[in-house]
Amino acid sequence: MLKVENLVVKYGMIEAIKGISFEVNDGEIVTLIGANGAGKTTTMHAISGLIKPVSGSIYLDGTDLTKVQPHKIVSMGLAQVPEGRRVFAQETVEENLTLGAFFRKDKDKIKADMDYVYDLFPRLKERSSQLAGTLSGGEQQMLAMGRALMADPKIMLLDEPSMGLSPLLVSEIFSIIEEINKKGTTVLLVEQNAKRALAIANHAYVLETGTITLQGTGQELSRDARVQKAYLGG
Amino acid sequence: MAFLSYLINGLSLGSVYAIIALGYTMVYGIAKMLNFAHGDIMMVGAYVAFFALNSFGLPVIPSVLLSMLVTTCLGVVIERLAYKPLRQATSLSVLITAIGVSYFLQNGAQLLWSSSTKVFPSIISSGAIKLFGGQLQISYLTLVTIAVCIAVMVCLTLFINKTKTGMAMRACSEDKGAATLMGINVNRIISITFAIGSGIAAVAAVLLCATYPTLSPTLGSMPGIKAFTAAVFGGIGSIPGAFLGGLMLGVIEILSKAYISTQLSDAIVFTVLIVVLLIKPTGLLGRKLNEKV
């Protein structure tokens, strides 16, 4: 479904991503783990078109996204839950969800998806007319996920969904990611919480200073001595 | 009674400032840049209306519409050619470019239409309604100016709050990256913002010239600066703020001219601005940026 080939991204003179390649197959949960500054968010931004790569390709079902205008990418079925949630603080919960379906014209299906999001996150329904900026961190994370679901994506990118949340909320968020995946949405997950991410991932990649240094199934990597030492506190 | 009459004149002048300030504040709110050429776009609008009325003999409404069409296109073209290439540049570069565009328009106007002043024809009948047995006179021009300002404000508020494009504008003003992730074409929204801001500048131009009928290539600079002040006064980026700021600035200016000193009126206006910003740095209706991490 998603295939990244020899991706290189630079900030000025600094090469943040040094030619990485990876693949996400239909229906999978794939995770990209790595320390702060490894280039995880940069990779996510490149896929969604927020930053233009220097070279390399990003194929979504065969179409090279690096040649697509950034705002058209979401309508091709790729939605992102960005790092730090980035909900529209001055808009209500409902308006944020409506913005998630901005490019869509199928009104009936939008309504159905909104009901689905409210089912998935009952707390958002209770707060539908509240400004997003007044929500707690966990609720904002749910809103950011709900907003991405409103695009009815084939593949959802999640960038550090567990950041700054209590362990209880982290468990909730991760079980919802699994639920979304079971409903048929492919997931690309970027996490610093490697333990959790590896536990739900079909396939995983380790990113270190802009290079993929290890890859394997989630189970393989969670047993790998290097991963345990560097990321799992083993 | 004199006070009431000054107050109404102040509201009328303030209405013109408010309409110009709306353009300033919208562009700032969405593109996060100060378009210092905004007053000069208004000046071009004034000349277009002048030629439409005087040379082509068009009626008032078609002249205003033609002027709006020209300034709308001008605003979009300026944005495309001068500001869009600087989207990733520092705000200082954009600011300097905007000042450059301002000089370009002023000098261009001098070249095309000469620096000698022209007299704007009277477009609204000079009558007045008399209240309190003739003690208070309000000219039709004053009434029209205030009414047009309120109409512009209401239309703009409805547009931004009730339409899909308006919603996209709100999203862009908060977070352009997140707006892009929603499938919003940020460049298109910025173009639309410039189009609207520049289009309503033509309305302000006609109202301004109806009150002060002297046309010159620099006619936009002082009202431009006043309107910018009004926008900051009200809280830059806030549409009700620009409206309130404009009206208050007009009233303060006219009242200080009437009761304190004609020469010092501008100084008083700017002193009030400084005091307001000292007490409330975000302006009267500006909101504090509260970011939750």
Q: Could you report the per-residue pLDDT of B74-111, keeping only the tens digit for each?
A: 999 999 999 999 988 898 999 999 999 999 999 999 99
Query: Which of A50, A62, A56 lies closest to A26 in space, CA to CA?
Result: A62
Tell me the torsion sign for CA atoms A197, A37, A27, A101: positive
- Each domain of chain B, given as residue ranges in start order, spans 12-116+123-217
Q: Chain B: residue nearest A151 by CA?
A: B182
Q: Could you report the per-residue pLDDT of B160-214, keeping only the tens digit for each?
A: 999 999 999 999 999 999 999 999 999 999 999 999 999 999 999 999 999 999 9
Q: What are phi and psi of A139, to 5 degrees?
A: -65, -40
Query: Which of B25, B78, B69, B23 lies closest to B49 in space, CA to CA?
Result: B69
A151 CB within 8 Å of a chain B CB: yes
- Is the pLDDT at A87 greater than 70, yes or no? yes
Alpha-carbon distance B262 to A151, whole Å? 59
A88 CB within 8 Å of a chain B CB: yes
CB-defined contacts A:B, below 8 A: 71
Which residues make beta-bridge pairs with B137?
B130
Find the chain B residues whose C-beta atoms sit closer than 8 A to any C-beta of A.
164, 167-168, 170-171, 174-175, 177-186, 287, 290-293
- Is the pLDDT at B282 greater than 90, yes or no? no
Separation in Å, CA of A80 to nearest CA in chain B:
7
Q: Could you report the per-residue pLDDT of B242-251, keeping only the tens digit for each?
A: 999 999 999 9
Alpha-carbon distance A129 to A94, whole Å? 6
Which amino acid, residue A52? K
**Strand duo A2-11 + A14-24: pairing:** antiparallel
From the list B175, B182, B290, which residue is nearest A102 (CB)?
B182
Q: What is the ipTM of this complex?
A: 0.94
Interchain contact, A74 vs B185, CB within 8 Å:
no
Contact A82, A162 (CB under 8 A): no
Enter the pTM of the model.
Answer: 0.91
